[in-house]
């Protein structure tokens, strides 16, 4: 094989024994899981916001940011349920660039997956213990989910991963909501097929075991826009796009809990992060115009951090994204209150 085996990583049991969670944190995660399932089943009318930095680059800034979210959550708790994004794995289109804290716990250092594995588990545990948030992460490597399975309450499968068999089958074995993004090319049938696969039971190979999944009734769609063959971004958050998704769910009547989270950044904004408030308000307007859309749209995914915009990994600005541009804190706080007032 044309690869070097650098080091053997700890097993999931070893990592969880080294860095355990408290009974209180386990209870917090359980309550978050129940709240999210109530939202996706329609039992709760709360509006979900999966919100946070494009990538979790440093522990202190991320914990600072989500501590601010906790204060806002208390003020809007009757209408909005917040799940912070702590994205520690970053898919890269060409494989180059910063791949997230798992790969590089020091964004300017060399990759070290062992240190990264420890860093991301410690970060998610601190989020639980210090802020009471059980957070969201992207499932870039399906087998790595085991290292965080006791601290995460929401998982997204990205646009580049959603066609992958192991991602789909692993999603079918999780007991938390999993969002399946439309692929970068925009084919919604691919996304719908991934949801179908995730909601069904399967037997497959996972982490050296033959396993059988029970199916995940809370697997759902995430619309994030797409790009055409010329590289031009095409949004899919407009009223007509949402009506089309309603129709696709109707054609796939066997799917449970039909729902969508809409990503207000990425190809929906053309990575113009300051468009996110406008996009969010248009989506809320569409919900008011259609009962079917109102029932299907369960929330938004928003990229936000402490400072506006982005910087290079060696930029050194505290709380500023080192990957895609994000809304800064002042605009984020205002947007959350605006969403609450429109619900």
Structural domain boundaries of the chain?
25-319
Judge: domain 25-319, CATH 3.20.20.70.
yes
Q: Which residues contact 266 (CB under 8 A, 6 or more apart)?
A: 159, 224, 225, 324
- Indicate whether 260 pLDDT > 80: yes
Q: How confident is the model at residue 283 (pLDDT cuts 50, 70, 90)?
A: very high
The pLDDT of 152-177, averaged and rounded, is 97
pLDDT score of 98: 87
d(CA 59, CA 119): 8
Q: Give the residue with greater pLDDT, 275 vs 98.
A: 275
The pLDDT of 30-38, averaged and rounded, is 98
- In the chain, what are the helix, strand and coil shares in percent, each to the nearest 5? 40, 20, 40
Using the Cα atoms of residue 126, residue 207, residue 183 and residue 80 in order, give the sign of their dihedral: negative
Q: Which two tokens stand for residue 70?
A: 């906790």
Q: How confident is the model at residue 55 (pLDDT cuts 50, 70, 90)?
A: very high
Q: What's the pTM?
A: 0.97
20 φ/ψ angles, rounded to the nearest 5 degrees: -80, 165
Share of residues in the chain with pLDDT > 70 (%): 100
* Residue 49 host element (H or E): strand 47-52
Q: Which of 33-42, 105-114, 218-227, 256-265 has the lowest mean pLDDT?
A: 105-114
* Residue 136 host element (H or E): strand 135-138
Between the alpha carbon of residue 58 and those of residues 132, 278, 303, the distances in Å are 19, 29, 16
d(CA 183, CA 189): 10
| DSSP β-bridge partners for residue 297 | 260
- Indicate whether 79 pLDDT > 90: yes
């Amino acid at each position: 094989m044309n690869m070097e085996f650098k080091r053997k990583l700890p097993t999931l049991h070893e990592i969880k024994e080294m860095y355990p969670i408290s009974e209180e944190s386990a209870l917090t995660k359980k309550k978050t899981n129940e709240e999210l399932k109530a939202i996706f089943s329609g039992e709760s009318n709360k509006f979900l916001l999966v919100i946070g930095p494009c990538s979790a680059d440093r522990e202190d800034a991320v914990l600072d940011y989500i501590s601010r979210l906790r204060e806002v959550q208390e003020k809007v708790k009757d209408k909005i349920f917040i799940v912070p994004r702590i994205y520690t794995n970053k898919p890269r289109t060409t494989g180059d660039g910063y791949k997230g804290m798992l790969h590089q716990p020091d964004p300017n250092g060399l990759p070290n997956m062992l240190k990264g594995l420890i860093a991301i588990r410690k970060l998610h545990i601190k989020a639980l213990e210090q802020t009471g948030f059980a957070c969201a992460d992207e499932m870039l490597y399906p087998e790595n989910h085991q290292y965080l399975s006791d601290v995460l309450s929401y998982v997204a499968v990205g646009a580049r991963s959603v066609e992958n068999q192991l991602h789909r089958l692993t999603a079918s074995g999780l007991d938390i909501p999993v969002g399946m993004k439309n692929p970068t090319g925009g084919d919604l049938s691919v996304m719908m097929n991934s949801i179908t696969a995730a909601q069904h039971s399967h037997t497959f190979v996972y982490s050296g075991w033959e396993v059988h999944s029970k199916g995940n009734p809370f697997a759902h769609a995430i619309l994030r826009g797409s790009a055409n063959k010329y590289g031009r971004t095409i949004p899919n958050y407009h009223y007509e796009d949402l009506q089309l998704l309603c129709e696709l769910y109707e054609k796939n009547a066997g799917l449970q809990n039909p729902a969508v989270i809409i990503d207000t950044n990425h190809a929906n904004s053309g990575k113009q992060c300051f468009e996110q408030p406008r996009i969010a308000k248009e989506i809320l307007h569409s919900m008011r115009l259609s009962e079917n859309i109102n029932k299907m749209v369960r929330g938004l995914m928003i990229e936000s951090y402490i400072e506006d915009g982005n910087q290079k990994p060696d930029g050194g600005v505290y709380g500023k994204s080192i990957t895609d541009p994000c809304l800064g804190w002042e605009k984020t706080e205002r947007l959350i209150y605006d969403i609450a007032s429109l619900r």
